[in-house]
Structure 1
Amino acid sequence: MENGRTFAIVGAGLAGAKAAQTLREAGFDGRVLLLGAEPERPYERPPLSKGLLLGTTQRRDVYVHDAGWYETNNVELRTATRVTGIDRAARQVTLADGERHAYDKLLLATGSTPRRLDVPGADLDGVRYLRTLADFDGIAEALTDQARLVVIGAGWIGLEIAAAARQRGAAVTVVETADLPLQRVLGDEVARVFADLHRRHGVTFHFGAEVRQLRGTGRVSSVLLADGTQLAADTVVVGVGIHPDVRLAEAAGLKVDNGVVTDATLRTSDPHIYAAGDVANAYHPLLGRNIRVEHWANALNGGPAAARSMLGQQVEYARLPYFFSDQYDLGMEYSGWVAPQGHDRVVFRGDPTRADGGAPEFLAFWVSDGRVLAGMNANVWDVTDQIQALVRAGHGGRAVDLAKLSDPRVPLSDLLS
C-alpha cells in the first residue's frame, strides 16, 4: 500500500491525464488528484486545428479517456478548478475557492497560454486565439463559405487553420513578420515549400508585415498593416506563439527560465515537484542542454515519464522532439532539434517541388558538419525510426555521407552501417 500518499497533478491536459493513467498502471494506489482549469475533461489539442476543424474527427474522439475512466480508476478529476498557489513548505496547493490539498508529490502540467496581440482593436469581437475547445467552437462557427479570414502569424497553428479554412471555403490572408512561413523553424528552403503549398490553394500572404491596428465597430472588420494596407476581415485568428504558463511555479519560487526548469528526470528545483509538457524546460541528455518542446508528443510521453519519476523509478527523459502536421494534401513528420542558425545546409532526398502542382514527396535533413540534427518526411511514410536513428547518431557526433543521404536508392539504414 502507498500509506495514504497523495500525488497531485495541476493541469488536466494530455500530459496530466497520461501521468494519472501511468500512476495507476504502475500500481500506485494512493490518492491521485487531477486539477484542471477548463470545464472539459482532458482532451488532445492537435485535432483543434486539424481533423476537428476539417470535420474529419468527431468531438467525442478528442478526449484522452472516456468520461467514466476517472471514477473507475479512482482519479479525482476536478474540472473548472483553478489552482492559485503552492505552499512548498507545507506541501499544499490552494484552490481559487480557498480549499487546500496536501500532496506528497506534485506534477505541474500547466501547459501554455497564447501570446496576445498588443495593438489597438485587439479586443474587438471576432478576434480569436486557438488553445481550447471553447476557442475552437468560436473559430469553427466563423469559418463559413466565403467568410473573410485573416490569420496573424504563419507558424504551425496559423498555417493549419489557414488550410482548414480554405478547405471550408473561406477566403484566407496570412500576415507574417518574417519573409516566409515557419522560417525560423525550418529555414528558407523548406519554408518555401509551405509558402508555395498555400499559394497553390489560394492563400494570400503578406510577409515582412506588421499589424498596426484592428478596426471595426464592436466587431472586427479589417486589419491595418504598418505600410497602410487594409485587409477586410470577418474574423481574425492570432497565432503568434505561446508563453509557458509558469505563474504558479514563479510564485512558489521554483527555478524558471523559458518554462519550469527540470533535470532529465523531469524533477524541478524542488525535489517533491515535477513538470511535464509545454511548461517544462527539461534537460535533454543527448542534446546536452535544456529544451522546451511545445508539441503533442512531448505531452504524450512526458506525462508518463514524470509519473514514473514521481514513483521513484529510474527515469531519463531523452525522447527526440517530434511533431506532425497535415495541410491540404501534404502530411509531414519532423524529428530532432536544431538551434536557430544551428545548421549549415538542408539536404533533400526527393524533389520538394512538383511541376504538375501536386503534393511533393520528399525527405529533408538539417545538417551541420555532416551530422544530421533533424529530419522531416513529407508524404513519405514509415521512415520515422530510420530518421530518428540518423538524428541520434548526428547529435552523438557521427557524420554521414551526404551524397548517399540525398540518394533515394540508398536505404536510410545503410547510412549508419
Structure 2
Amino acid sequence: MSLPCIIIGASHAAVQLSFNLRQQGWQHDIIIIGNESHMPYQKPPLSKSIMSQQKSLEEILLKKDEFYQDANIRLMLNTNVTEIDRSTKTIKLANGEVLAYSKLALCTGAIANKISLSDKPLLGVHYLRTAEDAAKIQNQLTHAKNAVIIGGGFIGLELAAAFNQRGVHVTILEAQENILQRVVTSEVAQFISSLHQQHGVEIKNCCIAKRLTGDSYVSAVVCESGESIPADLIIIGIGITPVTTLATKANLDVDNGILINQFAVTSDPNIVAAGDCCSYFHSIYQRNVRVESIQNALDQAKSAAASIMGKEIDFSHNIPRFWSDQYDIKLQMCGLIDGYDNVEVINPQDYGQLSVLYRKDNKLIAAVIINNPLMMKQAISAIANQEAFIH
C-alpha cells in the first residue's frame, strides 16, 4: 500500500498544495492536518471583510467540504503534530498516534508576536491571527466604545478602519516615528496617517505601551510617557513569527523560517514547505527573504506540489505582492523596499491616488500604489524585467 502525502498546517498554502497535487496526477492519499477546529479559510479577510461584517466565516472558506471529498483529500482538524521522525518517515500526533508518509509538506504559517503588559490576565485584550480570535473581537465590538491598537502595521490599520466604521473610537499606538515604518517609507506612511485621521482615528507615534490597567477587564493603556488612554478593547499587533518548531526539532535547516530552495524543497528531499513559515533565496534581490503574502504562498505551493511529483517549477523570481483595504482605498505593494537609491512620488494626495516607485541602479525594485491597478500591473512587469519603468 502506498503511503500518503501529509501536509502539516491547514493554511492557504496547504490547500493550494493539495489541489495542485491532484491536478498534477498524485494518485495516493493526501492528508491535511490542522490545529484549528474550522475548515481551512482565508486569513486576510479576518481584519477586513469579516471585521466589517461584510462576510461570514462560511463565505471565506477556501473550499467547501464537497471539494475535499471529491478530490479524496482527508482533513484532520483540531489536531496537533508534536514530532517528525525523518529516519522512519513518520509523524507523531499529540494523542500519541503515529502516521507514516511518503512525502511531507510543512505549511505551518506564523503566529502573532506577544508581549506582557499586565501581571494578571485581563479580559478585552486580543491578538488577531485566527478565526477564533476574530470571533472574540467581534463579540466585544458590540459594546466597545474605545479601542486601542498597539502597533501601526497593516493588520492594526485595517482593524482601525473597521472599528471606526462601526462607531468605535480608535487610538493607534506606534513605537516608531511613523506607522508602517518596517515596510514603507514616510511618503506612504503620511498618506495613510492622513486618511485615518480624516476619519477620526488618533495616531500616536513614538508611543510605547508600558502597562495595562483594570481589575478583571482592561480599562486603560499607560504609555511610557505616563499618558493613560482609556480602552475597553485592546488589540496587540506587533508582527508575526514563523512556526518552525517541528522543523527545528527534526534538524531541518532553519533561518528566519524553514529554508527551502527555488523548488520549495527543504534540506530533506522528502519534505517540502510553503507559505509564511519559509525563507528562501530570491533570484532578483539576491538575498534570503521571508515573504508574508497569499501570492507567495500560492507560488510556493505550486512549486512544492511539482517537486513532490518529480518536476521542477522555480518560484524564486516571482515578485512579492501585498495588498491592504482601508476605508475606500486599496493599497498595493510589489517588490521589496530595501536598498533603493531613488524614490519617485506620483500623484498628489488630493486625487485619492498615490504611487511611490523605488529604484536601484535605475531599475525598479519596488512600488507602493494606491487606487491605480493598471500602474501596479506595469510595476510588477518592470521589476520582473529589471526595467526602470517610465510611467
TM-score (structure 2 length as normaliser):
0.96
User: Which residue in 2 is equivalent to 1:349?
Assistant: 346
User: Which residue in 2 is equivalent to 1:168?
Assistant: 166
1: CA distance, partners of 2:281 / 2:84: 23
SS in 1 for 2:212: strand
2: CA distance, partners of 1:379 / 1:144: 31
1:146 to partner: Cα distance: 5.9
User: Which residue in 2 is equivalent to 1:101?
Assistant: 99
State the one-letter code of the partner of 2:321. Answer: Y
1:26 to partner: Cα distance: 1.2
1: CA distance, partners of 2:144 / 2:260: 47
1:287 to partner: Cα distance: 2.1
State the one-letter code of the partner of 2:385. Answer: A
State the one-letter code of the partner of 1:93. Answer: I
1: CA distance, partners of 2:132 / 2:314: 36
1: CA distance, partners of 2:294 / 2:138: 21
2: CA distance, partners of 1:336 / 1:122: 42
Mapping of residues 53-202 of structure 1, within 5 Å: 53-121=51-119, 123-144=121-142, 147-202=145-200
User: Which residue in 2 is equivalent to 1:415?
Assistant: none
SS in 1 for 2:22: helix
2: CA distance, partners of 1:145 / 1:329: 25
SS in 1 for 2:235: strand
Give yes or no for the alignment of 1:338 onto 2:330: no
Check the 8 A contact 1:145/1:170 in 2, yes or no. no
1:155 to partner: Cα distance: 0.3
Check the 8 A contact 1:8/1:103 in 2, yes or no. yes
User: Which residue in 2 is equivalent to 1:374?
Assistant: 366
User: Which residue in 1 is equivalent to 2:378?
Assistant: 386
SS in 2 for 1:52: coil
SS in 2 for 1:255: coil
CA deviations over 1:122-173 (Å, ceiling 9, x no partner):
7311110000000001111222376210000000000000010001110000
2: CA distance, partners of 1:388 / 1:181: 25
1:303 to partner: Cα distance: 1.8
User: Which residue in 2 is equivalent to 1:361?
Assistant: 353
Structure 1 stretches of 5 or more lacking a match? 406-411, 413-417
1:347 to partner: Cα distance: 0.8
2: CA distance, partners of 1:5 / 1:145: 52
Give runs of ≥4 in structure 1 deviating > 6 Å. Answer: none
SS in 1 for 2:50: helix
Check the 8 A contact 1:144/1:169 in 2, yes or no. no
State the one-letter code of the partner of 1:151. Answer: I
1:297 to partner: Cα distance: 1.6
Equivalent residues, number: 390
SS in 1 for 2:276: helix
User: Which residue in 2 is equivalent to 1:325?
Assistant: 324
CA deviations over 1:204-228 (Å, ceiling 9, x no partner):
1111111110111111111010010
State the one-letter code of the partner of 1:372. Answer: L
2: CA distance, partners of 1:89 / 1:378: 50
1:258 to 239, 256, 259: 256
Mapping of residues 290-305 of structure 1, within 5 Å: 290-305=288-303
1: CA distance, partners of 2:32 / 2:353: 43
Structure 2 stretches of 5 or more lacking a match? none
1: CA distance, partners of 2:102 / 2:81: 17
1: CA distance, partners of 2:366 / 2:140: 37
1:273 to partner: Cα distance: 0.9
SS in 1 for 2:197: helix
CA deviations over 1:284-328 (Å, ceiling 9, x no partner):
222222211111222233222211121111110132110111101
State the one-letter code of the partner of 1:10. Answer: I
SS in 2 for 1:237: strand
**CA RMSD after TM alignment:** 1.5
State the one-letter code of the partner of 1:314. Answer: E
Deviates more, 1:71-80 or 1:359-368: 359-368
Check the 8 A contact 2:9/2:107 in 1, yes or no. yes
SS in 1 for 2:122: coil
User: Which residue in 1 is equivalent to 2:30?
Assistant: 32
SS in 2 for 1:51: coil
TM-score (structure 1 length as normaliser):
0.90
> Alignment identity in percent?
34
1:362 to partner: Cα distance: 2.7
2: CA distance, partners of 1:214 / 1:348: 40
State the one-letter code of the partner of 1:369. Answer: D
Deviates more, 1:77-86 or 1:365-374: 365-374
CA deviations over 1:370-416 (Å, ceiling 9, x no partner):
2211112211123333111111233xxx445xxxx3xxxxxx4xxxx
